[in-house]
């Protein structure tokens, strides 16, 4: 391995870099109008000025005399990505700056939030691949021969229950150890050493997501899919001794935000799932709020989702929320709901920056 002083030098460099990466970042991504929306002659109601981090929603409303008028809603975020922005650019804007930090004990989480069909999966799927490419590069170059290992796990939360997506949807349970650490009993974790292996695991996991009887998007939009990349290290570089966890990067494709409103559906199962989704998305917001306000107490127990993420929220953590929106007039209400949710997360993080310069 490297001499001790070199190692320390590289770690203090990491620390500087860590301080320059925002603790919470909220990004919005607008997808293009799709063929169906164009065929229905729906308007693009979202405008984004070039090189700005604000966007405007043009909502058409009716006056009492039934004449139309347009109400404008302006929002400002850390970054606003227009429909021309590529997945590579999304990666550079969101996850790329965080990757080096997880070699130095940071736990980072990237969420995709938005209504079904807004582009969450399209946005999320390439990110762990790109991240593992960078992680492996760092392992082979900067941190060469230092005993670092990369492993992957992939599971989903559906109706408040956990299922292993890399082990035939085996049902999993959680256990808390004495140090308030949460462990998912029986979750399969695979050590990987090349990007091809990661790609195969991601494809396998996606194919295993809840598809029920009604088709893929319908059911999977009611589950949260969680892919975790863990960096471990065997202290003396030994291949045989167990490695300890150093840092973690979680990618979460959240359930469709509109599913949280399924609480009046005729079907009892759908109602229950809707209530669970609503609870978890509210709990997620509350946890990020608590994270940011230095409250000490973080309400993890609000939902399964936040309980599972507990160890990613304590200590040196980073959170990136990518809110995905559809541009079409038909989605106006859902889009405004998504932007308001993102805005609440965002305005909280502004408060944090003031207190902690
Ligand atoms: P969600 O996961 O939010 O339900 P998807 O990611 O499945 O939504 O996206 C719905 C459809 O829109 C897919 O066919 C996807 O390929 C397409 N799509 C989403 N975002 C974009 C984008 N930024 N550019 C081009 N097509 C997109």
**205-261 confidence digits (pLDDT tens):** 988 886 654 444 666 789 999 999 999 998 776 666 778 999 999 999 999 999 888
Residue pLDDT, tens place only, 43-62: 999 999 988 999 999 999 99
Report yes or no for ipTM above 0.85: yes
Token pair 């805005």 is at which residue?
343
Tell me which of 27, 29, 30, 31 to substitute to probe ligand 1's pocket, judged by most ligand atoms within 8 Å of the beta carbon.
31
- Asked if pLDDT for residue 355 goes beyond 50, the answer is no
32 lines ligand 1 (CB under 6 A): yes
31 lines ligand 1 (CB under 6 A): yes
Supply the pLDDT for residue 272. 85
CA 83 to ligand 1: nearest atom:
23
Nearest to 205 by CA among 194, 193, 189: 189
Between residues 20 and 82, the one the model is more confident about: 82
Instruction: Report the SS3 class of residue 138.
Output: helix
Q: What does the alpha-carbon distance between residue 343 and residue 346 come to, in Å, rounded to a whole number?
A: 5
- Asked if pLDDT for residue 4 goes beyond 60, the answer is no
| Local confidence band at 341 (pLDDT 50, 70, 90 cut-offs) | very high
| Local confidence band at 8 (pLDDT 50, 70, 90 cut-offs) | very low
Q: If you ran DSSP here, which 8-state letter would residue 214 be given?
A: T
> According to the per-residue pLDDT averaged within each range, which of 13-17, 255-259, 290-294, 345-349 is highest?
255-259
Supply the pLDDT for residue 273. 85
CB-CB contact of 208 with 165 (8 Å): yes
Binding site: what residues are annotated? 114-121
- Asked if pLDDT for residue 30 goes beyond 90, the answer is yes
Q: What count of Cα atoms within 13 Å lies in the side-chain half-sphere of residue 115?
A: 20
225 lines ligand 1 (CB under 6 A): no
Counting residues of the chain whose pLDDT is more than 70, the rounded percentage is 86
Q: What does the alpha-carbon distance between residue 314 and residue 301 come to, in Å, rounded to a whole number?
A: 14
- Asked if pLDDT for residue 354 goes beyond 60, the answer is no
Residue pLDDT, tens place only, 255-313: 999 988 877 778 888 888 888 899 999 999 888 878 777 666 778 888 999 999 988 88
Q: What does the alpha-carbon distance between residue 184 and residue 307 come to, in Å, rounded to a whole number?
A: 10
CA 29 to ligand 1: nearest atom:
23
Supply the pLDDT for residue 345. 86
- Asked if pLDDT for residue 184 goes beyond 70, the answer is yes
Parallel, antiparallel, or unpaired for β 223-233 and 244-253?
antiparallel
Give burial (CB, 10 Å; 0-12/13-18/19+) of 182: middle
Which range has the worst mean pLDDT, 1-10, 62-71, 117-126?
Answer: 1-10
pTM for the structure as a whole: 0.90
- What is the token pair recorded at 301? 């127990």
118 lines ligand 1 (CB under 6 A): yes
CA 278 to ligand 1 center in whole angstroms? 22
Binding site for ATP: what residues are annotated? 114-121
CA 114 to ligand 1: nearest atom:
3
CA 34 to ligand 1: nearest atom:
12
CA 253 to ligand 1: nearest atom:
2
117 lines ligand 1 (CB under 6 A): yes
Q: What does the alpha-carbon distance between residue 209 and residue 219 come to, in Å, rounded to a whole number?
A: 9
Which range has the worst mean pLDDT, 27-31, 61-65, 257-261, 325-329?
Answer: 257-261
CA angle (162 as vertex; 203, 220 as ends), nearest 5:
50
Average pLDDT over residues 104-108: 93
Token pair 């650019």 is at which residue?
89
Supply the pLDDT for residue 172. 96
Q: In this structure, which residue's CA is closest to atom 10 in ligand 1?
A: 117
Indicate the average pLDDT of the chain.
87
324 lines ligand 1 (CB under 6 A): yes
| Local confidence band at 3 (pLDDT 50, 70, 90 cut-offs) | very low
Supply the pLDDT for residue 294. 65
147 lines ligand 1 (CB under 6 A): no
Average pLDDT over residues 109-128: 96
36 lines ligand 1 (CB under 6 A): no
């Amino acid at each position: 391995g490297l001499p001790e002083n070199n190692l320390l030098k590289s770690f203090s460099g990491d620390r500087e870099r860590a301080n320059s990466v925002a603790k919470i970042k909220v990004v919005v991504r607008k997808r293009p109008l799709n063929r169906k929306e164009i065929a229905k002659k729906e308007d693009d109601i979202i405008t984004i000025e070039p090189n700005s981090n604000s966007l405007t929603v043009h909502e058409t409303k009716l006056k009492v005399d039934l004449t139309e008028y347009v109400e404008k809603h302006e929002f400002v975020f850390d970054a606003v990505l227009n429909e021309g922005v590529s997945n590579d650019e999304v990666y550079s804007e969101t996850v790329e700056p965080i990757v080096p930090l997880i070699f130095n004990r940071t736990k980072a989480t990237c969420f995709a939030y938005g209504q079904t069909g807004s582009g969450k999966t399209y946005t999320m799927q390439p990110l762990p691949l790109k991240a593992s490419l960078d992680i492996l590069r760092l392992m082979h170059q900067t941190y060469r021969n230092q005993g670092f290992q990369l492993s992957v796990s992939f599971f989903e939360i559906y109706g408040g229950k956990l299922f292993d997506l890399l082990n035939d949807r085996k049902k999993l349970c959680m256990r808390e150890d004495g140090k308030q650490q949460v462990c998912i009993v029986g979750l399969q974790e695979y050590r990987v050493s090349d990007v091809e292996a990661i790609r195969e695991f991601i494809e396998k996991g996606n194919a295993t997501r809840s598809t029920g009887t009604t088709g893929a998007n319908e059911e999977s939009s009611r589950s949260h899919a969680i892919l975790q990349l863990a960096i471990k290290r065997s202290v003396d570089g030994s291949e045989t001794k167990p490695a300890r966890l150093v840092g973690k990067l979680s990618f979460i494709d959240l359930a469709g935000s509109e599913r949280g409103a399924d609480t009046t559906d005729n079907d009892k199962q759908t109602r229950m799932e809707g209530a669970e989704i609503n609870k978890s998305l509210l709990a997620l917001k509350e946890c990020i709020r608590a994270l940011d306000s230095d409250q000490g107490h973080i309400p993890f127990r609000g939902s399964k989702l936040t309980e599972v993420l507990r160890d990613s929220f304590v200590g040196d953590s980073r959170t990136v929320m990518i809110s995905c929106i559809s541009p079409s007039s038909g989605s106006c209400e859902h889009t405004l709901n998504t932007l308001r949710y993102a805005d609440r997360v965002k305005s909280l993080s502004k408060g944090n920056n003031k207190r902690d310069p």
